[in-house]
Structure 1
Amino acid sequence: MEELAPLASLSLTHVHYDPTDPVSYFCAWLALVPQGLCVMYATLIWSTREAEIILMFAGQLACEVLNFGLKRILKEERPKQMHGKGYGMPSSHAQFVAFFSLSLTMFLLFRHVPKKPTPSHTPLSLAARVGLSILALMNAGLVAWSRIYLSYHTPWQVLVGCAAGAVTAVSWFLITTVVRQIGLLSWALEQYPTRLFRIRDLVVEEDLCQSGWEKWEAKRISEQKATTKKKR
């Protein structure tokens, strides 16, 4: 028989966990949160074409590049249970979710200024935005803790990852604030490529669910009036 070539494993979602431990199984699912967030980013960018989401995703990618560089500079091994599976300092999962949760929190509390309520739309209240921020931060904490529980990282590696993600999030938020204030974003939105792909900047004052809602309401009411007239 001919010898078969050795096969490689695509370890994008390959997670080691203890099958006899329900908590370990739960932590294995938490390890997929960054992949899920990337799918969310791609879906929202494609469906909404919002500049703010594109900017946030760009910052997320920059955060990943930073993590890639730090791991290869520090070259600190993972705990012995996961030895040989790449460098562990800092935790990329912790850094990823720290950036996302803090970026979302700063957007909701400092940049998002919703319009006044209208008969067809009630924007998210401050209490709701605070609640969403707390949920995002709690989710980040769970993901970071799960990396320690699964023995993929030491507590110090996770803490450094969270710190790197937080520093990157704050830095990127300040950079994008300056980009907005000096008019660079407004200029970019007037260029042919951004207009071709219909990139817009509405989510800072409108909720995502608001997009097209008032147009739909006006159409629905108009059709109801037309139907009523026909019955008469």
Structure 2
Amino acid sequence: MSTAPLASLSLTHVHYDPTDRLSYLCAFLALVPQGLCVAYATLVWSSREAEVLLMFAGQMGCEAVNWVLKRYIKEERPSQMHGKGYGMPSSHAQFVAFFSIYLTLFLLGRHTPHPSQTHTPLLLPERLGVSVLALGSAAAVAQSRIYLNYHTPRQVLVGCAAGAVCAVGWFVVTEWLRREGWVEWALETRVSRGLRVRDLVVTEDLVDAGWARWEERRRRKLVKRT
């Protein structure tokens, strides 16, 4: 048997106070970015939606900005924390700020489901509720980084600000790409056609994917039985 010391996987290794229930909850909140990456990958593979791909591209660009900022500013984490790497700005705060703000901009500014094109359209109050929930969840994740002493309040605030700037900036860029026809052009390329990339979520909800075909198949079965 090997006697080599074991190493900790830093991607998911979170320090917390086991005697503090709130600290325990914050440790799980620290895993939200990893969970969102899994959700991104799942949606990209299952939906092949252009808007999801654009949002994921912006999210990765936001992460690249954080990597550059940390190595440019070189501010250490709080002294009582054993975490590795620089702390300014908080990558967790920047990640969730981008996600929640871009999602809010999409739901309130770009997503326009039409009753004639979708069976279960999200109404404006519902989209507003989802946006508030996303923003509140992002705030909880950002606050957890302070509570666990991984970051100072200033590092978290700068992370949120950087994520917000990236989200608004990328939303403006994608809006320009759509208005100028670049998204439509990309969807007609051989690669996009081969990967079956589509652009339906702007006017339809993801839950409607394939629903019309299912309803038509169900209707034919009922007619055949009668």
TM-score bracket for the superposition, by shorter chain length = over 0.9
- 2:29–2:144 Cα contact (<8 Å) kept: yes
Q: Partner of 1:201 in structure 2?
A: 199
Distance 1:52 1:3, change over 3 A: closer
1:151 to 149, 152, 156: 149
Q: Partner of 1:215 in structure 2?
A: 213
Tell me the distance in 2 between the aligned counterparts of 1:96 and 1:115.
31
Tell me the distance in 2 between the aligned counterparts of 1:86 and 1:47.
35
Q: Partner of 1:15 in structure 2?
A: 14
Q: Partner of 1:183 in structure 2?
A: 181
SS at match of 2:172: helix
Tell me the distance in 2 between the aligned counterparts of 1:147 and 1:7.
26
Q: CA RMSD in A?
A: 1.4
User: CA offset at residue 8 of structure 1?
Assistant: 3.4
**Structure 1 unaligned blocks of 5 or more:** none
Give matches, 1:1-232, under 5 Å. 4-83=3-82, 85-117=84-116, 121-228=119-226
- 1:77–1:83 Cα contact (<8 Å) kept: no
Greater Cα offset, 8-17 or 146-155: 8-17
Tell me the distance in 2 between the aligned counterparts of 1:87 and 1:208.
38
TM-score with structure 1 setting the length: 0.94
Tell me the distance in 1 between the aligned counterparts of 2:207 and 2:100.
20
- 2:142–2:156 Cα contact (<8 Å) kept: yes
- Paired AA for residue 115 in structure 2: K
SS at match of 1:215: helix
- Number of residue pairs matched? 226
Tell me the distance in 2 between the aligned counterparts of 1:52 and 1:21.
40
- 1:91–1:161 Cα contact (<8 Å) kept: yes
Q: Which has more radius of gyration?
A: 1
- 1:117–1:123 Cα contact (<8 Å) kept: no
Q: Deviations over 1:133-167 (max 9, x none)?
A: 00000000000000000000000000000000000
SS at match of 1:81: coil
TM-score with structure 2 setting the length: 0.97
User: CA offset at residue 82 of structure 1?
Assistant: 1.4
SS at match of 1:85: coil
User: CA offset at residue 122 of structure 1?
Assistant: 2.8
Tell me the distance in 1 between the aligned counterparts of 2:218 and 2:132.
36
- 2:30–2:144 Cα contact (<8 Å) kept: yes
- 1:27–1:150 Cα contact (<8 Å) kept: yes
Tell me the distance in 2 between the aligned counterparts of 1:79 and 1:85.
11
